[in-house]
Amino acid sequence: MNDIATTARAGRPRASAKLLQGILVPIPTVFDYDGEVDEPGMRALVQFYLDAHVHGLFPCGSFGMGPAMSVDQRKRVAELIAETVNGRIPLVVHCGTVDVFSAIDLAKHAKGLGSLAIAIVPPFYYSDHTEYEILEHYRRIAEAVDSPLFIYDNPQYSGIHMQVERVLRLKEAIPSIRGIKLNIMSVERALEYLRLLPEDIAIFSAGVSNLLTGKPKGFDGTVNPPTAHVPELCVSFWDALALDDFAKAIHYHYQLDAIAGIVMELWKTRGRIAYKEALKLRGLEIKMFPRWPSKELGPEDVARLREVHERVGAGYFVGQRRVNVV
């Protein structure tokens, strides 16, 4: 590992070689009451994010319900998003599955739609995968699809702890790895990736609050579900950091941290349906999310969600599409 890390540090390309940077929104997939993809709802969501000038979309990940859909449904979601985006911003379509053959099928489809990169979570559920099996999973996808790969360190859902050492071994064997999403982790641990990985790997934190410390040190962006309903605020935060305007950045950080806090609190106690209520707060019509039976939030929880947004000055009301970030 030390030899690989030394080589990575010595041979880093210039920062312009990065795959992408900024706010990469993990777009949720919304459904009708029969669990089928709500196509008009998806188009409205994509337009919502385009209007907010986000830097890219990340479909069919955990937040996008990828593992909870059939292969055909995942393909249709990717098609809907690609058609609506029409090349205006990059897509990084998640194609990870338990088996390598379905992942290759999805990856070829996503590449055909113009996906900038193919996101692949480690082969989940079977958390006893050997080192050889994990490497082969990624290698076979890379060989089958000539596209940059965007990998995960997400042990909570995949059951596989990637760690810096394993990522370095993967990168040595598969040069087309160009990005990584670091799921919820401390800034200190995320910075270890930053120190040791080659610079042509874009590093995206799953915690938007990590950007306040991480962006000046070299983080390339965030993929953050709890703030996916406030894309304007996320973009404003990124822009302030990019301009080294830390007074504004600290203000946006405070707002986003409070918003993410209440969404995560409700998610832990009530489930992912908290995200549905957060999106509805923006005036978006959401019939079903997630794609499994969930108990609706009570009026008290919805009121708490709204109160936090109003208290921190985000100013969201039903039907309002812009956010007060002053």
Element at 118 (helix H, strand E) = strand 117-120
What φ, ψ does residue 24 adopt, rounded to 5°? -100, 100
Q: Is 181 one of the catalytic residues? A: yes
- Cross-strand pairs, 202: 179
Q: What six digits make up the tokens of 132?
A: 């050889």
Residue 248 known to be catalytic: no
CA dihedral 180, 91, 101, 79 (to 10 degrees): 160
Calculate the alpha carbon distances from 92 to 42, 148, 179, 308 in Å: 16, 10, 10, 31
* Catalytic one of 171, 181, 215, 276: 181
- Token output for 40: 């008009």
Query: Would you tell me the crossing angle of helices 231-242 and 246-270 to the nearest 10 degrees?
Result: 140
Please give the C-alpha separations between residue 1 and each of 5, 102, 196, 314, in angstroms, as whole numbers: 6, 31, 10, 45
Choose the catalytic residue: 152, 193, 252, 275.
152
| Residues belonging to the active site | 152, 181
